[in-house]
Amino acid sequence: MVQNFHLPPTGFGPGSQPEDETLEYMPLPQDMRTYAPHIPETDSGVDADALDLLTKISDAAREVARDGGSAVFDLSGLTASARALIAEVMGEGEVSIRMRGIPAIAAQESVFAGVWVLNGADIDRIEVASIPPLALERAFEPVRAGKGKSTPNLEGMANAPALIVELLDKSQAFQSGQDPHVINLTLLPHTEPDLVWLDTALGEGAVTVLSRGYGNCRITATATHGIWRVQFFNSMDTLILDTFEVTDMPEVAIAAPEDLADTANRIEAVIEAIS
């Protein structure tokens, strides 16, 4: 019996694909920030007050790296030329902090880890610290108070009630200096109503941190003691990690002692170059 003849499928085999077609690739991650020393122009001479302040900042960074704590340097009394030189040397680093309250304060980490420039009403200063102390003091002051377990349920909720029990339990037991407790939402089944309900239950605190490096990390204080929302985005602004952390301040925002010791050396190198 003669079998039916079947033509081979089209689109396969030699000659079936167009020639000289340019391959298109997904865009690769870009724009990762790295430290590059910047030596300011000093043709007109170095302001002695600016040079003295840089020396004090370098010494303070070394002390804070060794002993902890913080050091504050008021910039309001500097001359315009000295202030401009300090601003040029400091530049802008990866971490910025918004602290709501009276007065509202913006803190920008310089290119030297652990050296922060703070600005607000009648505030123009540099602080040397792992994190500005005000960011810790104001963090959980409520901008929008949380409703806790009494938050009305939403249709489509799944795991939010169980998560709030764990978070509130860790919050009530939390003491400063404890190791962080992390709930990784990325690995847990949850729905959009879960996230909305948790946001209402925990409220919103007064401090927001943005860390820009390989992508972005957004850190938001809740109005519940010790609880932060930490969200990591890749270089294409896609959320890749979403967590709650119960801690003083998430580690990603903090300058480590090693960073502060390195900062002292880097500032000394700048001083030597411009002296």
Q: 139-253: same fold as 48-130+256-274?
A: yes
pLDDT at 44: 53
Q: How far apart are CA 138 and CA 131, in angstroms?
A: 12
Q: Distances in Å between the alpha carbon of 141 and those of 150, 224, 254? A: 20, 8, 20
The rounded distance, in Å, linking the Cα atoms of 215 and 217 is 7
CA atoms within 13 Å, Cβ hemisphere of 62: 10
pLDDT for 19 equals 56
Enter the pTM of the model: 0.82
Give the pLDDT of residue 25. 47
Residue stretches of the chain with pLDDT short of 50: 1, 23, 25-26, 28-29, 32
Q: Delimit the domains of the chain by residue range.
A: 48-130+256-274, 139-253
Architecture of the domain delimited by 48-130+256-274: 2-Layer Sandwich (3.30)
pLDDT attached to residue 205: 98
Tell me the pLDDT tens digit for each residue of 130-142.
999 999 999 999 9
* Domain covering 139-253, topology: Ribosomal Protein S8; Chain: A, domain 1 (3.30.1370)
CA distance 206 to 223: 8
Q: In what order do the strands lie in the sheet with 239-246?
A: 71-74, 123-128, 115-120, 105-109, 95-99, 207-213, 215-221, 227-233, 239-246, 181-184
- Phi, psi of 146, rounded to the nearest 5 degrees: -80, 150
- Scanning the chain, the segments in alpha helix (DSSP H) are 48-67, 80-90, 133-138, 160-173, 192-202, 257-274
Q: What is the DSSP letter of 186?
A: G
pLDDT in tens, 109-122: 999 999 999 999 99
What was the pLDDT predicted at 28? Answer: 47
